[in-house]
Structure 1
């Protein structure tokens, strides 16, 4: 790869890390709010649903940028084409699943009579979703790091990186 391509690829991965940090900040904000609400002991199902909507918007934007970055990666690093194509297929499936799970959780939280055994159970489900999303991001970071030529630490600076 020429130096221009390497420079573009480095910029691409810097953007990837920035995207990961933005998403983590969005999740941290909701988790902080959930912690405060839990201390009050009063369920806020509808407000939780309202707070998840901006997360969905953030995720949608994040996933669109990742798709763009993966397309650029395939263009800049053609030697990794089979790996990049497999990565693109897997992340696309993961993104659809995560958005679907978030939509389902959001819909259940905003019901007049939310179908959860308790407020704690509802918050546990939200937290499980966050953990699955973070695992997805760590997995992406690992795969991106393996594709990045000359990277010594695939997760360096990324959410959930080692």
Structure 2
């Protein structure tokens, strides 16, 4: 019973962490949109803000890869491993895209046509990340539900 309780707490923690990532993404997007509405592009400051977000995201990815979101469930239900994808490659690709974006934002003469072009690229990055995070949330929720049913 205790092992099961710990697994559920662990899974809930991971779900909460995903929600924090999604909230931070929304805050970045809101700030960017507010500057756009005011006509005050701040490429360098946005680069710094995205950089802080990238650090949070990198830690989140590292926790996922080292701790293993699904370890407690796999300990309980080894057959579940068939459903667990390896996200490390996707994590690396996402972080590389964000690094490239930050580098261009912080460039003395940002290579974007305008603030809106940078915003569109940022929104595409966030959409890809949201899709990835939502997929992970779905898998963690399935793991939680499966382990709760046993």
Normalised by the shorter chain, which TM-score bucket? 0.7 to 0.9
Whether contact under 8 Å (1:16, 1:69) holds in the other structure is no
Of Structure 1 and Structure 2, the greater helix share is in 2
Q: Partner of 1:72 in structure 2? A: 71
Q: How does 1:22-33 map to 2 (within 5 A)?
A: 22-33=20-31
Question: Which stretch has the larger CA shift, 69-78 or 107-116?
Answer: 69-78
Whether contact under 8 Å (2:54, 2:95) holds in the other structure is yes
Give CA-to-partner distance per residue, 1:60-94, whole Å, 9 cap, x none: 1111222213363333432223333xx1x2x1111
**What RMSD in Å do the two structures reach over aligned CA positions?**
1.9
Give CA-to-partner distance per residue, 1:109-145, whole Å, 9 cap, x none: 1111111111100011111111110000111122223
The gaps in structure 1 that reach 5 residues or longer are 153-162
Whether contact under 8 Å (1:30, 1:51) holds in the other structure is yes
Whether contact under 8 Å (1:145, 1:151) holds in the other structure is no
May I ask how many residue pairs the two structures share in their alignment?
A: 146
The TM-score, its normalising length taken from structure 2, stands at 0.87
The gaps in structure 2 that reach 5 residues or longer are none
Question: Which stretch has the larger CA shift, 8-17 or 48-57?
Answer: 8-17
Residue 150 of structure 1 deviates from its aligned partner by 5.2
Tell me how far apart the structure 2 counterparts of residues 71 and 144 of structure 1 sit (CA, whole Å). Answer: 7
Does structure 1 residue 116 correspond to structure 2 residue 112? yes
Q: How does 1:27-106 map to 2 (within 5 A)?
A: 27-67=25-65, 68-70=67-69, 72-73=71-72, 74-84=74-84, 87=85, 89=86, 91-106=87-102
